[in-house]
Amino acid sequence: MEEKKEKYTFVDKRGQGDAASTAYTAAAQPEKKPEPEMHQAGRDQGQMPPIDFSTLIMSLATSAVMAMGKAPDPHTGQVSKDMVMAKQNIDIIAMLQGKTKGNCTKEEEHLLEGILYELRMLYVEAQGGKS
């Protein structure tokens, strides 16, 4: 029986905060002291999304997709290929899947399975069908 796999779209939203997330972040977080200028410059574009397990997995997956040359770097706009880095990111996600087995929600387990399937298929494709 063939199992239908969902497709995932990787969109790097780092630094692209919207009014709703900014309002939530400002209301939910205690007042912070000003950060040094080197950290402040990266936040001029918007607030970072809240970090959870799914966000971590999506961040690693996005890095893998960019390393396979399937998406441009959001900072430079350049597409580059680094298959060693792509494999490392995929392996990290697989390691996290193993280490968190039994501790994830059903949604997180489903996300891990789907992401790993899609990344592995993209990896084979990026290598030109070679394994």
User: pLDDT of 17-59, one tens digit each?
Assistant: 444 333 333 333 334 444 444 444 444 567 877 889 999 999 9
Strands (E), 39-100: none
Token digits for 38? 């080197």
Query: Looking at the 3D structure of the chain, how many domains does it have?
Result: 2
Token digits for 53? 């397990």
Range(s) of the domain holding residue 18: 14-49
Q: Which residues pair with 68 in a beta bridge?
A: 81
Same domain for 59 and 45? no
Same domain for 95 and 40? no
Percent of the chain with pLDDT over 70: 63
Same domain for 73 and 125? yes
Q: Is 9 within the bounds of a domain?
A: no
Exposure of 114 in the CB half-sphere (CA atoms within 13 A): 15
Spatial distance between the Cα atoms of 116 and 124, rounded to a whole number of angstroms: 12
Prediction pTM value:
0.63
DSSP class of 30: P
Same domain for 92 and 40? no
* Residue 10 banded pLDDT, cuts 50, 70, 90: low
Same domain for 19 and 60? no
Helices (H), 13-52: 19-28, 37-40
Q: Is 4 within the bounds of a domain?
A: no
* Residue 75 banded pLDDT, cuts 50, 70, 90: confident
